[in-house]
Amino acid sequence: MIRKLTILSAVLLAAAPLLAAVSPEEAAATVILDETGEKNLKIETVEAEETDFEETVFTLGRINVAPGKRAVVSSRVPGRVVSVEAHIDTPIKMASEALVIESRQPGDPPPRIRIPAPISGIVSAVNVVEGQPVELSNSLIEILDLSTVHATASVPEHLAAKLKEGMRARIRVLAAGGKEFTAELAHIGAEVDTKTGTIEAAFHLPNEDYALRPGMRAEFSIIVSRRENVMSIPRLALQGDVTNRTVYRRHYDTLLKHTFVRVPVQIGAMNDKFVEVTSGLTAGDEVVTTGAYSLAYAGKGSVSLKSALDAAHGHEHNEDGSEMTAGQKAKAVADGGHAHHGISALTMFSLISNGLLLVLLVLAMLRKAKGDEVVKVDTH
């Protein structure tokens, strides 16, 4: 029995190179680059891994002035503007002089009233000029305190039941250089806007550098739930349409540098950053993120599969990536003498010897099996 296993093991070891092959599908989905090609495509990869996956609600909204952070400067008495010290779109400090009014009350000279800024902030409007008459009802200057702003999301009303105060959100403002902020849901609107069918969800954002200005458009990804141990990859890695999702995975053979294989995947939930992968990848697979879209248009790359495998493993392969048999190599030499760019006599002898060894091992195992049957018959 042990001898049979030994012979079988030897047969399998000898036949292994002959059985190894790349399927036509994998060969067609393989892109092989050189070092320069990978750098030019700016290829970046990450490992697929099981993480905490966040379910998010995506919606749009605007940056608004926080309640109580807008001040209007007016005059307590009618008169004429003598000077204006506040200038549009410039900072002003609380209690600093905003403008001076000359009263209509009699006097020589007429009494003048200094009007200070009621809050610190940015002057958003100046509605008077020097010499202009003013009345008690006039709005002369407007000031906005933008040290804290409200990011207000317009959430479709059918998603309102998912919202709870304290939920965190990622807020991206393109006009602020695409900067991303994280904040908690501070309050939910008391009523739905019947014209738009949305309800307000407000987040408070610190804004010390005044990068956020009222009216800026914002994108909200509100985290409504979280699941553990979910296989996920960045959305940037996902290619194809909704009926045929694929990713590019770095080749398992570490000797095949700069080689990537397009593999089909099935996906589940998706949020603003990641996508759940339900099949097609295993933990540790190295998938392409940046450059994945370019790989889709790189054809088979700058190096053939055969050349890459020949260089990596040090022996000849077929065009489809499968191992060449001794007969195929002998035929290639006989046809043109170009197999592996010229095979040496020693290499050819080794290949033919391996082939003969395989045949002899098979014959020996068959003869041994037949001998065992004869012995069994004689014993009866």
Tell me which residue of 238, 228, 188 sits closest to 57, measured CA to CA: 188
Confidence of residue 228 (pLDDT cuts 50, 70, 90): very high
Which is more confident, 328 or 179?
179
What is the percentage of the chain residues whose pLDDT exceeds 70? Answer: 75
Asked if residue 226 lies in contact with residue 53, where contact means CB atoms within 8 angstroms, the answer is yes
Those residues with Cβ within 8 angstroms of residue 374's Cβ, 6 or more apart along the chain or in another chain:
none
The SS3 of residue 52 is: strand
Indicate if the pLDDT at residue 238 is higher than 90: yes
User: In the beta sheet, which residues pair with residue 65?
Assistant: 149
Asked if residue 138 lies in contact with residue 101, where contact means CB atoms within 8 angstroms, the answer is no
Indicate if the pLDDT at residue 189 is higher than 60: yes
What's the N-to-C CA distance of the chain in angstroms? 21
Q: Please tell me the predicted confidence (pLDDT) of residue 244.
A: 92
49-65 vs 148-156, strand pairing mode: antiparallel
Tell me which residue of 103, 101, 102 sits closest to 115, measured CA to CA: 101
Tell me which residue of 214, 154, 205, 152 sits closest to 179, measured CA to CA: 205
User: In the beta sheet, which residues pair with residue 231?
Assistant: 50
Tokens linked to 343: 């095979």
Question: Per-residue pLDDT averaged across 179-203, rounded?
Answer: 96
The SS3 of residue 76 is: coil
Tens digit of each residue's pLDDT (9 = 90 or more) over 151-183: 999 999 999 999 999 999 999 999 998 899 999
Indicate if the pLDDT at residue 326 is higher than 70: no
Q: Where are the beta strands (DSSP E) in 118-216?
A: 121-126, 133-134, 141-144, 148-156, 168-173, 179-188, 198-206
Question: Per-residue pLDDT averaged across 191-215, rounded?
Answer: 95
Q: Please tell me the predicted confidence (pLDDT) of residue 107.
A: 83
Indicate if the pLDDT at residue 18 is higher than 50: no
Indicate if the pLDDT at residue 325 is higher than 90: no
Which is more confident, 33 or 344?
33
Question: Per-residue pLDDT averaged across 117-145, rounded?
Answer: 95
Q: Please tell me the predicted confidence (pLDDT) of residue 370.
A: 64
Tens digit of each residue's pLDDT (9 = 90 or more) over 331-348: 665 565 544 444 444 455
Q: Please tell me the predicted confidence (pLDDT) of residue 367.
A: 74
Residue type, 239: Q
Question: Hey, what long-range contacts does 266-269 have (CB within 8 A, 24 or more apart)?
Answer: 267/238, 268/230, 269/53, 269/55
Q: What angle do CA 157, 150, 63 make, to 5 degrees?
A: 80
Tens digit of each residue's pLDDT (9 = 90 or more) over 42-97: 999 999 999 999 999 999 999 999 999 999 999 989 999 999 999 999 999 999 99
Among 5-14, 246-255, 308-317, which is the least confidently predicted range? 5-14
Indicate if the pLDDT at residue 139 is higher than 70: yes
168-173 vs 239-241, strand pairing mode: unpaired
Tell me which residue of 118, 122, 127 sits closest to 89, measured CA to CA: 122
Q: Please tell me the predicted confidence (pLDDT) of residue 176.
A: 92
Chain-centroid distance of CA 351 in Å reads 48
Tell me which residue of 143, 145, 126, 119 sits closest to 210, measured CA to CA: 145
Tens digit of each residue's pLDDT (9 = 90 or more) over 357-379: 777 777 777 776 666 655 555 55
pTM, 2 dp: 0.67
Asked if residue 153 lies in contact with residue 215, where contact means CB atoms within 8 angstroms, the answer is no
Those residues with Cβ within 8 angstroms of residue 372's Cβ, 6 or more apart along the chain or in another chain:
none
Q: Please tell me the predicted confidence (pLDDT) of residue 298.
A: 75
Mean pLDDT of the chain: 83
Q: Please tell me the predicted confidence (pLDDT) of residue 212.
A: 96
Q: Please tell me the predicted confidence (pLDDT) of residue 17.
A: 42
Residue type, 78: P
